[in-house]
Amino acid sequence: MYIKPTRTYYKGTSQCSARQWFLILVTPGRKVKSVTSDYEYYLADYGNSGRIPIRCIVRKVALEQLGHWMMGYARAFGHRITISGSYGSDGLPTDVDREVWDKAIPLPDELYDAWNKGEGWNSCGSEAPLIRQWAIDNFEILAPKGATL
């Protein structure tokens, strides 16, 4: 999700957004393909809370229309992250390399609960204003060193 307003424009028939600060929710990359095994891996590695651990980073992202989707990419800690819509994966966290996840900032429990109950469908839900304000308030630790809002 963009944490600051961005200029939207059209290039031919495609909608585009100017590069702006974007909050990305991330989860550690999966080691295996099975959903059940992934979940067991998360629980074994991160505790038995029943929650898949979500962390956050802020990076500059420009989205462009690709078919029905708005897509772009971000760079973080030497890795390229594909972004598709809100939060990085159409309202959901996006999987990243463990190195990126380890350096990201945990999403507070109250915001995790709000996100989980926000009823977003392929986009942000009712939690968006709370999460955006948290990202703005914590910009200095979420964004690269020396970045300014």
Q: Is the dihedral of CA 140, 144, 147, 149 positive or negative?
A: negative
Say if 82 falls within a structural domain: yes
DSSP state of 92: B
Cβ neighbours of residue 44 closer than 8 Å, sequence gap 6 or more: none
Alpha-carbon span 116 to 49, nearest angstrom: 14
| pLDDT (0 to 100) of residue 48 | 53
Say if 85 falls within a structural domain: yes
pTM of the model: 0.85
Say if 94 falls within a structural domain: yes
Q: Structural domain tally of the chain?
A: 1
Alpha-carbon span 67 to 72, nearest angstrom: 13
> Residue 129 sits in which domain range?
8-27+55-142
Q: What is the pLDDT of residues 62-87, one digit of tens each?
A: 988 888 888 999 999 999 999 998 99
| pLDDT (0 to 100) of residue 32 | 46
Answer whether residue 89 shows pLDDT above 50. yes
Grouping H, G, I as helix, E, B as strand and the rest as coil, residue 71 is strand
* Cα–Cα separations (whole angstroms), residue 63 to 97, 129, 132, 145: 21, 20, 18, 23
Alpha-carbon span 43 to 49, nearest angstrom: 7
Nearest Cα to 58, choosing from 70, 42, 74, 72? 74
Query: Rounded to the nearest 5°, which phi and psi values hold at 55?
Result: -125, 170
Q: What is the pLDDT of residues 2-57, one digit of tens each?
A: 998 888 888 877 778 778 999 999 988 755 455 555 555 554 555 556 677 899 99
Say if 17 falls within a structural domain: yes
Say if 44 falls within a structural domain: no
Grouping H, G, I as helix, E, B as strand and the rest as coil, residue 40 is helix
Say if 71 falls within a structural domain: yes
Say if 50 falls within a structural domain: no
